[in-house]
Amino acid sequence: MTKTNKALSQLGMAMRAGKLITGDEIVLKAVRAGKAHLVILAGDASDNTKKKFRDKCGTYGIQLAEAFDREQLGRAIGKPERVVLAVTDLQFGKMIGSHLSQNTEVDPIEQQTGQQG
């Protein structure tokens, strides 16, 4: 199982455990309230959405990962397409974040397009 597949299956586990929220406004609220530990943004989100979450997560010091596409994110949590998810549990956040990138903290992550550096 690749690291990214592992992250997707862990998103499913977090969802079943009730430690995952989804949807623009709900995620933004959680970020502002300090309840989000990791925000995952679909790589095919609009530039506007990406900027909004980069800015918010940067302001509040929350790790942001740009990964997968909206279809993969939705499938991972058993829902229709999802553009943004937030993990509300610290342990799940660390576990999933560790599979997404080695860029830590709030640097916007420009990856998941398959090119090797």
- Mean pLDDT for all residues in the chain: 87
Residue 71 in this model has a pLDDT that exceeds 50:
yes
Label residue 61 left, alpha or beta by phi (over 0 means left) and psi (-120 to 50 means alpha): left
Q: Mean pLDDT throughout 89-107?
A: 76
- CATH architecture, range 8-99: 2-Layer Sandwich (3.30)
DSSP-assigned beta bridge partners for residue 63? 38
Name beta bridge partners: 43.
none
**pLDDT tens per residue across span 7-51:** 999 999 999 999 999 999 999 999 999 999 999 999 999 999 999
**DSSP characters for the chain?**
--HHHHHHHHHHHHHHTT-EEESHHHHHHHHHHT--SEEEE-TTS-HHHHHHHHHHHHHHT-EEEE-S-HHHHHHHTTSS--SEEEE-SHHHHHHHHHHH-S--TT------SS---
* pLDDT, average across residues 61-71: 95
Determine the average pLDDT of the residues in 89-103. Answer: 85
